[in-house]
Amino acid sequence: MEARCVANLDDVNWLDYGGCMVYTDDHMELIEEAIEDGETELWTVWHIDIDRLKLVDGHLVDLSYEADWGAASVHDVWFARYIDSAATISDRSAEDLRNGFCSSNVRVRADAYLCMTHEVGAYELGSASTYSRKEMKRYGKANGYVSRSAVYEERSQGDLVMLAVQEGDYTKAASLVRVGRTKADRDEHQSTLVGELLASDRLTHGQQCALYTASLKLA
């Protein structure tokens, strides 16, 4: 399937003030404001892969990580050490930022990588191309650049469940996992969704127990 631009996380007027385009094939393009080079305006576009990660024992690791690789602590992604400072300058919690990198929602994940560029620089995360105004307009049109779209507008259900769990609202979380017309449908949906969250190490077994207890009241 052809990659499609689904969101712009920065200014609606990306040509004049910069933008951040998010694509369905797990990459984003960060457009910097133009700089003048003599009589020519030049735009820099950073091409950044927004790979999905997972949390293992509190460490951000590649999604393909397996236990037989060794301790997760030695497989942290290189920018994990900047999580706290990146979260601070982005006015969000370190936990929220870590979860963003693990999200199945490409918009949420892109927002996490965008926050990290503010701390380490886009040049540490991707490669750059440079365009004139005419080339930039043509490039934007050819690649389906869009106006701004809210990053949380299409959060996956798993993301919403984890947000409720992180806020300690297990009743709300339980209502999100128990979806369906019949009890059998609700049981199946809960089993599948909770299983996925456990498999991706986003949900701890302690949180699973609390969620199960809350769901019994809704059964």
- Identify which of 41, 38, 34, 35 has the alpha carbon closest to the alpha carbon of residue 15: 34
Let me know if 100 is exposed, middle or buried by CB neighbors in 10 A (0-12, 13-18, 19+).
Answer: buried
Band (pLDDT 50/70/90 cuts) for residue 214 is: confident
**What is the helix (H) or strand (E) element at residue 37, kind and residue range?**
strand 35-37
Q: How confident is the model at residue 54 (pLDDT cuts 50, 70, 90)?
A: very high
Answer yes or no: is pLDDT of 69 > 80.
yes
- Rounded average pLDDT over 109-113: 93
Helix (H, G, I), strand (E, B) or coil at 105: coil
Q: Residue 7 is which amino acid? A: A
Mean of the per-residue pLDDT values of the chain: 84
* Domain assignments of the chain as residue spans, ordered by start: 1-154, 157-216
The pTM of the whole model exceeds 0.95: no
What is the mean pLDDT of the segment spanning 14-19?
87
pLDDT over 90 at 160, yes or no: no
Are 146 and 8 a contacting pair, CB within 8 Å?
yes
Distance between CA atoms of residues 114 and 9, nearest Å:
9
- Percent of the chain at pLDDT > 90 equals 38
Q: What is the pLDDT of residue 154?
A: 41
